[in-house]
Structure 1
Amino acid sequence: METLGAGAVDIAFERVGEGPPLVLAHGAGDDSRAWGPQLEGLASDFTVIAWDEPGQGRSSDVPEGFGLGDYADCLAALIEAVAGEPAVVCGISWGGTIALELHRRHPDRVRALILADTYAGWRGSLPPDELRDRVDAAARQLDAADSGMPELPPGLFAADPPAGTARLVRAMAAAARPATLRQQLRAMADADLRDELPRIAVPALLIWGALDARSPLRVASEFARAIPGAQLVVLEGAGHLSNLERPTAFTDAVREFCLALPPM
């Protein structure tokens, strides 16, 4: 792992392969280990950079009040310092919301966007009743984490994952920092980036699990209608963590999209 200082935080990241830069942003409560299949599968074609977002994994804690814009600014700093040129940015779930905010604040850092099983913020993608239920459920999960009994959010997978994948997800959940997750919960619950979708002027790929119960295909369809020229790939048999549940299909979709991009 390498480390980059970005303002008040230190960002740990993994870099593998050679070629055009591809930056991976994981979901809330995860870290760069969530991208293991993609780090291995895409390194032959790209310089793949997967961060531990601030406050998670091997990155430093975040200060009080650290919000969505701060995450996007840190991701922009990582792209500038490590990639040295605009990058394809792939974000899943909360990581996709960060990628949208990155495009809003730093469009010059983004060559293309890959948004997977994500949201335009919870306020931007969930009905009000579901938003309230989601916030309440997340608060209960954080209370359980404070007591030393972390719970996984429901609906991460469409079916029982392989034992190794289940162990990985539980290990990342056990290592997640409740203080970070509480700040992320506030940021995600308040975010509404729907107005950014039609402004996306770079190539965009949407990858969604057909059985995603947390960000259902309805959200993918809204993204596809709003983002000019967006491509949508639906992975059959996959839930919210589609990159882990259908890793080969996910990786192949990313590779095909990136290799078809026009030269810089």
Structure 2
Amino acid sequence: MHTVEVSGLRIGYQRAGQGPPLVLLHGAYEDSRVWRQQLEGLSREFTVIAWDAPGCGLSDDPPPDFTGRQLGDALAGFLRDVAPRKPHVLGLSWGSGVALELYRGHPHMVASLVLASAYAGWAGSLPPEEVDRRYAQILAELDQPPEQFIPVWMPTLFTERADPAVVDEFSAIMADFHPAGMRALLSASGRADYRDVLPTISVPTLLLYGERDVRSPLAVARDMHRQIPGAQLTVIPDVGHLAAAETPHAFNAEVRRFLHSIGD
């Protein structure tokens, strides 16, 4: 692990390999450890950089009044320090919103986007009642012991075919979350809406989804595809929300194919 200071916050990250920079943005309740299979599988061709978002992993917790814009600015500052060459940016689930927040404020910093299991923010992709339900669920969970609620998440993240060892690995990572950090991030981006950003995206974009994703289902994927000019949509068969972990070889192959197709 490495650390760098950005806007007064210590940011932790992992780095592996050589080649064009590929920056990985994890989902909620997660940190850079969820990218183990990508740090291993893509580092022969790319400099793979996986950050711990503020409030996650080894990174400092942001202040309670942290905003989505500040989150995007923090990522921009991080990229200036660790990836001075314009990187490819891959965001997973909540991390896809962070990627869109970065693009909203700093579009010139991105070579391409890979939005995996993505939303245009919860409010940009889900009905208002579902946004309210998810927001209230996480808010309630922050006052509960992880062993009480993390098992409830697993069937929404993986299919029944997932390797139990991978499910256990993710459960342990998620249980290691920062309550104060998650509370700040929920406040900053839990009701984010990036529908205004999607039509402005002018860099090559891959939308990468699992066929059996119940958290960001294919209706969300198709809506994103309609709104982003020239975006490619790829669906990995018979896999859930965390395709990067459940079927890493297929996930990595699609990322590799896309990046090579646009030129590194």
Which interval holds the TM-score relative to the shorter structure? over 0.9
Matches of 2:65 and 2:140, distance apart in 1? 21
Which residue of 2 is the match for residue 201 of structure 1?
202
SS in 1 for 2:132: helix
Contact 1:150–1:174 at 8 Å: present in 2 too?
A: no
Which residue of 1 is the match for residue 55 of structure 2?
55
User: Does 2:45 align with 1:45?
Assistant: yes
Uncovered stretches (5+) of structure 1, i.e. residues with no partner: none
The CA deviation at 1:151 is 2.4
Taking only aligned residues, the RMSD between alpha carbons, in angstroms, comes to 1.5
Which residue of 2 is the match for residue 27 of structure 1?
27
Contact 2:32–2:51 at 8 Å: present in 1 too?
A: yes
Contact 2:65–2:188 at 8 Å: present in 1 too?
A: no
Give the letter for the 1:181 counterpart. Answer: M
Give the letter for the 2:181 counterpart. Answer: T
Which residue of 1 is the match for residue 261 of structure 2?
260
User: What does the per-residue CA deviation read over 1:13-38, in whole Å, with 9 as the maximum and x for residues that have no partner?
Assistant: 11110000000000011111111111
The CA deviation at 1:139 is 2.4
The CA deviation at 1:150 is 4.5
Uncovered stretches (5+) of structure 2, i.e. residues with no partner: none
Matches of 1:20 and 1:207, distance apart in 2? 20
SS in 2 for 1:138: helix
Moved more, 152-161 or 97-106: 152-161
Which residue of 1 is the match for residue 68 of structure 2?
68
SS in 1 for 2:57: coil
User: What does the per-residue CA deviation read over 1:219-247, in whole Å, with 9 as the maximum and x for residues that have no partner?
Assistant: 10011100011001101111111111111
| TM score, norm. by length of structure 1 | 0.95
The CA deviation at 1:60 is 1.5
SS in 2 for 1:221: helix
Which residue of 2 is the match for residue 131 of structure 1?
131
Moved more, 238-247 or 154-163: 154-163
Matches of 1:71 and 1:150, distance apart in 2? 26
User: Does 2:172 align with 1:171?
Assistant: yes
| TM score, norm. by length of structure 2 | 0.95
Give the letter for the 2:76 counterpart. Answer: A
Which residue of 2 is the match for residue 77 of structure 1?
77
User: What does the per-residue CA deviation read over 1:104-142, in whole Å, with 9 as the maximum and x for residues that have no partner?
Assistant: 111111000000002111111111121222222222322
Contact 1:142–1:150 at 8 Å: present in 2 too?
A: no
Give the letter for the 2:156 counterpart. Answer: G
Structure 2 CA distance for partners of 1:189 and 1:56, relative to 1, 3 Å: closer
Identity %: 45
Contact 1:150–1:173 at 8 Å: present in 2 too?
A: no
Matches of 1:93 and 1:68, distance apart in 2? 15
| Count of matched residue pairs | 262
Contact 1:96–1:118 at 8 Å: present in 2 too?
A: yes
